[in-house]
Structure 1
Amino acid sequence: MPKMRSPNNNKTNLNGLWQLAAYLKPYRREAILSWIALTIVVVFDLLIPFLVKNIIDYGISNRDLPYIIKTTIILVAATFMSALLAVTNNIFSIRVAQKTGRDIRSDLFRKVQTLSFANIDQFQTGEILVRLTSDISQVQQVFLTFLRIGTRAPLLMIGSIILLFITSTQLALMMLVVLPVSIFITAFFAVRLQPLFYAVQIKLDRLNSILQENLAGVRVVKAFNRSHYENQRFDGANQELMLRNTRVMQLASILMPLLTLLMNLTTMSVVWFGGVRVIHNTLSIGEIIAFVNYLVTAMFPLTLLAQAIGLVSAAGVSAERILQIFATRSSIEETDLTQSIRKCSGKIVFEHVHFQYEGGNNEETLQDINLIAEPGEMIAILGATGSGKSTLLHLIPRLYEVTSGRITLDGMDIRHIAQESLWQCMGIVLQETVLFSGSISDNIRFGRPSAGINEVQQAARAAQIHDFIMQLPQQYETQVEQRGANFSGGQKQRLAIARAILIQPKILLLDDSTSAVDVETETKIQSTLQKILANCTSFVVAQRISTVLHADKIIILDQGKVAACGSHATLLQTNKIYQEIFNSQLGNGGSQNGTF
């Protein structure tokens, strides 16, 4: 991947396109061939008016039929060669643009994969999707346009101006007035349009974010009968995008008529003054026709630029937005001290750990956490909503970086352990269960693709999902629909648990992973886990106290602090908070299915 700089905050700057142009380098051979073909096309384009002039001045005026036939044959041959080379240019240009777009898209996707949770929190899902699709397509289209007219436009203009002076110096002087005016008008519109296209992309981001949220939560929308509200929200964003687009297109639509007006006025002047010179026999009819053709050819690049100005402006904004992700440094980086670990026993120690989310309300989510988990111990974490349970769990695999303090694994600071090596020690089931499109077996072996079907089934049995799978028509080859829509919440949680078990982790992290499972099934899962993962250190975030009764240590979090730590028996005698939780769920009048 080419080295990327930080994006420019100046929204009228097109340097982002030049930055991304580095992706053209691997395909420079095809790009050069396209430009060579285009250069020859320009030669033929400039030759055609000259041949027409000769046919009129030397063939028609002298009634020289053989000359007319000979020159016409050359003219037709030049036209066919120009068309053939133009097709050649298009073929190579399309190949280069498509390959370049593919490379940018692949590198950007890989960059997103390297970002930490904190980095991803800065971008909405809709924004990332737009940058991976629409923004890259904009840049790709500009590269295609550049390869198709990038050489043709300046060569046509330069060649036409030279031939204009050769044909008639006096008439050509008109171009010294018209050309700078046309360039100024084009540059003026380019500067004005750039920030407007940036505003359009912001509105497009918002529209896509609303769309993504609605599609992901369509069941909630329908369940709460909020379709009308969502329609209004989408229509509002859609209306704002339409108004922004309309404003941009209306401004851009002025440019082309202005350039056409200038060209027509110049053509009229040439015909007028050239006609006077023809009358005085100082200019031939063929020369004035050739002059008009060269004049149109000289103005043609500006016309192309006028048509492409909107595309270039939008692509400049898109390039900056793409570079913004490329320039984002992961908040979790490996250093020179980073090393892999060969063997993991699973001892986890929190030493005065503090954590605060970026861009938050300046309040620490976790404060002075001190905790020791010996190898093979089960650590349960209880607490009210927002007390920091999931956050504490996320710090162990470095999904987020601690603000201060440190976490060690077998005595080594996890910031000094290679991330891949750290993750290989751990199996994790997040609070929000995510399944991928594919078969059930593919989902279970997601963390260990080489696992055999027997191992997959063993993990499924441990997660108490095997019997259900065997009742399906295609059993383990049953296809999982998008986001696991064809499974219940409990079934998805058990599949995720099987996925974590299969990698045989030394550390197992369960973030409220049985909340949608009935108590009986949960008990079976816990019993099986204790047997097959006897030497595995486990951290279990739970809402039901029945989940944690047999934990070696139970941590009570209260407003980001450790309020108590101990076994069930100890806390039941000594800690008021734990006593209240226990009594509300399993004590007098409590239900075993109750949750905190």
Structure 2
Amino acid sequence: MWRYAMKQKKLLFFNFISVFGFISVELGLPTLLALMIDKGITQNDTNYVKNMGLLMLGVVVFGVALNILLGYFTSRITTNMIENIRDDLFETVQEFSHNEYEQIGVSSLITRVTNDAYQIMLFMQNILRIGFTAPMMFIVSLYMVVRTSPSLGWYVLGSLPFLLGGVVAIAIYSEPISKMQQKNLDRINGILRENLSGLRVIRAFVNERFEEKRFEEVNDAYATSSKKLFRLMSVAQPAFFFLFNIVMVLIIWSGSVQISTGDLRVGDLIAFIEYIFHALFSFMLFATVFMMYPRAAVSAGRIQDVFDAEPLIKDNPNGITTTATKGELVFDHVTFAYPGPSQTPVIRDISFTASPGETVAFIGSTGSGKSTLIQLIPRFYDVSQGHVLIDGSDVREYQLAALRQKIGYIPQKAVLFTGTIADNLRYGKEDATKEQMLRALDIAQATDFVLSLPNGLDTVVSEGGSNFSGGQKQRLAIARAIIRQPEIFIFDDSFSALDYATDARLRERLRAETTESTTLIVAQRVGTIMDADKIIVLNEGDVVGIGTHKELLKNCAIYYDIAASQLSEEELLK
């Protein structure tokens, strides 16, 4: 927290000046009041009272101005801090591999960027206002108390151990509650995210009540931990005021005795009471800030965990950026196991070559490793053994941006972003012209439905593309990759939502478009890959067949079984 605060030294300096001036005003007023009483009111000096009254009014106005400035500088510092923290968090998260997302959790990351950062902002606002003001005011007030009446000062000093003990006890007790509260908030976000994204499935299975009960359990857990914190804080403040009032009663009683004996003047007692008020009230305010610290520390620790997370996929800043060849792909005895305790390989000893202009397809049963295999190319994961080579160099030797610039990737689940259709297409090529966008849409068989929309390319895409069908989203995702004109196309089961006629037309146009690019297709439908130059059949992570459609029908039993389940006898004999 202080690391980010110290980036704004100029604002911190003005904040400190405002604090110092405000304290001077607050503690100067009791002294002026004492002088007004002892030298003006008791002496019946009307002019002195009038002049001191005007002086006090000026000091009050000056104090209000300083307090406004203090609020302004505090708000500027904390707002800038949280802006920087969130920017850095987002930048850090962008460098995460799939492994870090799985370890921390997407819902937890959202909570850390939003709620945890907000908790830090609240704490720092209190620190910069009260945390700076209260200790200085307490120390100066304590000095003035002892200076005005050392005998009465013992009442204040005697109460401090009780106050300090209460603050420490509350801080220790509140920390584990704060941790549990933030974890429960993560779970709330997770369930809410699942519920909103799976709303249609929930309704289709009439499971609204089940989801309500599941959310209610987590929400109750969050409410329980929050209530514990609120109860703790609600008990703390009255307890402090109770002790505060006892001290005040003892001081007024003792002070009145000293006034009756002539050992203390009325003005001094009033000033003393003001100093006592400032001292104890400052301590109580600082105690409140200190009690907020455990919650802020939990939030800061959770954010620091994100910053400290070491990405498994690291960029190579001095890596390759350009190559002589374009799109030559080689898998050299590749084995891969997902990071974790099991370390069981999901693909084993895979070798093949794909050249520019060639279409290589992957097929196999669910869970055979098809999608995992192609995710090794853009380095979503790194191989456990062997090498993935592009244009003669291991993918780990490239700069990540340069490597991924070579690739046009269309995932299984077509992802569209909030904005317009044109914005989504420009995601593939930032400076794409309207003509380039229309050409890409034409190749992807998306022209008809896009131009039939009232706003055409300027049609707004809802969150996640929810206002388009699965097939429309897939075609827009394909167009986004085409507009990039990459050296390697990766279609990860990207035709699954298309009807056979659209699928056939799209693949025919793609063949003409990708004559100089390497095309990789993961598919479940044999009809999608029959014309591929090379088909690789996977089964439980192993390659069990490589060849053309006709070759595999003759020499690969697994491929034949897949084809026979989808094609007619006449199509099998072609």
With normalisation by structure 2, the TM-score equals: 0.97
Amino acid in the other structure paired with 2:99:
A
1:590/1:584 CA distance change after superposition, 3 Å: farther
Aligned 8 A contact 2:490 2:521 in 1: yes
Distance 2:34 2:9 in 1: 38
What's the counterpart of residue 273 of structure 1? 254
- The 2-side partners of 1:408 and 1:428 are apart by 17
Partner of 1:393: 374
The structural deviation recorded for 1:309 is 4.0
CA RMSD, Structure 1 to Structure 2 (Å): 1.6
Match of 1:312 in 2: 293
Question: Shift of residue 406 of structure 1?
Answer: 1.4
Q: State which of 190, 196, 199 in structure 1 corresponds to 2:171.
A: 190
Q: Is residue 331 of structure 1 aligned with residue 308 of structure 2?
A: no
Q: Tell me, in whole angstroms, the C-alpha distance in 2 between the residues paired with 1:418 and 1:173.
A: 69
Match for residue 124 of structure 2?
143
Letter aligned with residue 500 of structure 2: V
Report the alpha carbon displacement of residue 337 of structure 1 after superposing the two structures with TM.
Answer: 6.0
Structure-2 residue corresponding to 1:434: 415
Is the contact between residue 170 and residue 291 of structure 2 (CA under 8 Å) also seen in structure 1?
no
Cross-structure match for 2:69: 88
Alignment match, 2:50: 69
Within 2, Cα distance between the matches of 1:387 and 1:162?
Answer: 77
1:533 to 488, 492, 514: 514
- In 2 relative to 1, CA 319–344 (structure 1 residues): closer, same or farther, beyond 3 Å? farther
Q: State which of 9, 20, 40 in structure 2 corresponds to 1:28.
A: 9
Partner of 2:478: 497
User: How far apart, CA to CA, are the structure 1 residues paired with 2:101 and 2:565?
Assistant: 38
Call closer, same or farther: CA 1:589–1:158 in 2, change over 3 Å.
farther
CA contact (8 A) 2:333 2:387 kept: yes
Deviation (angstroms), 1:590: 9.1
Amino acid at match of 1:395: L
1:105-504 correspondence to structure 2 within 5 Å: 105-335=86-316, 338-359=319-340, 361-504=342-485
Quote how far apart the aligned CAs of 1:336 are: 6.8
Q: 1:46 aligns with which of 11, 27, 37?
A: 27
**Displacement of 1:385:** 1.0
Supply the distance in 1 between the matched residues of 2:76 and 2:570 (Cα, whole angstroms). 72
CA contact (8 A) 1:193 1:252 kept: no
How far apart, CA to CA, are the structure 2 residues paired with 1:182 and 1:589? Answer: 90
**Which range moves more in the overlay, 423-432 or 439-448?**
439-448
Counterpart amino acid of residue 115 in structure 2: S
Residues 234-277 of structure 1: CA distance to partner in whole angstroms, max 9, x if unpaired? 11111111011111211222221221122111111111221211
CA deviation vs aligned residue, 1:273-310 (integer Å, no higher than 9, x gap): 21211111111122122111111111122221243345
After superposition, what is the alpha-carbon deviation per residue over 1:196-223, rounded to whole angstroms, capped at 9, x for unaligned? 1111000000001111111111122122
Distance across 1 between alignment mates of 2:219 and 2:348: 44
% identical equivalent positions:
35
| Secondary structure of 1:550's aligned partner | coil
Deviation at 1:502, TM superposition (A): 0.6
- Structure 1 gaps of 5+ residues are 1-19, 592-596
- Does the Cα contact within 8 Å between 1:334 and 1:416 map onto a contact in 2? no
Are the equivalent residues in 1 in contact too, given 2:130–2:286 (CA < 8 A)?
no
Structure 2: unaligned runs, 5 residues or longer: none
Q: Does the 8 A contact of 1:125 with 1:212 survive in 2?
A: no
Separation of aligned partners in 1, 2:47 and 2:302: 62
2:41 is the counterpart of 1:60: yes
Call closer, same or farther: CA 1:337–1:478 in 2, change over 3 Å: closer
TM-score normalised according to structure 1 size: 0.93
Opposite residue 257 of structure 1, the aligned amino acid is P
8 A Cα contact 2:370 2:522, kept in partner: yes
Kept after mapping to 2: 8 A contact 1:256/1:306 = no
Aligned-pair CA distance for 1:391: 0.6
In 2: Cα distance, 1:172 partner to 1:333 partner: 62
Number of positions where the alignment pairs a residue of Structure 1 with one of Structure 2? 572
For 1:251 and 1:90, locate their aligned partners in 2 and report how far apart those are by CA, in whole Å.
28
CA distance in 2, matches of 1:138, 1:117: 28
1:514 aligned counterpart, secondary structure: coil
Q: Is the contact between residue 138 and residue 311 of structure 1 (CA under 8 Å) also seen in structure 2?
A: no
| Equivalent AA in structure 2 for residue 132 of structure 1 | V
How far apart, in 2, do the equivalents of 1:381 and 1:25 lie?
54
1:311-370 CA distance string (max 9 Å, x none): 332211111111111111211113476221244421111122121222364322111212
Equivalent position amino acid for 1:524 in 2: R
Q: Which secondary structure does the structure 2 equivalent of 1:428 belong to? A: strand
Query: Does the Cα contact within 8 Å between 1:57 and 1:284 map onto a contact in 2?
Result: yes
Secondary structure class of the residue paired with 1:150? helix
- Once residues 131 and 51 of structure 1 are traced to their aligned partners in structure 2, the CA distance between those partners, rounded to angstroms, is 49
Q: CA deviation at 1:184?
A: 2.4
User: What SS does structure 2 have at the residue aligned with 1:450?
Assistant: coil
- CA gap 1:158/1:589 in 2 versus in 1, 3 angstroms: farther
Distance in 2, matches of 1:252 and 1:343, equals 68
Alignment of 1:516 with 2:497, yes or no, is yes
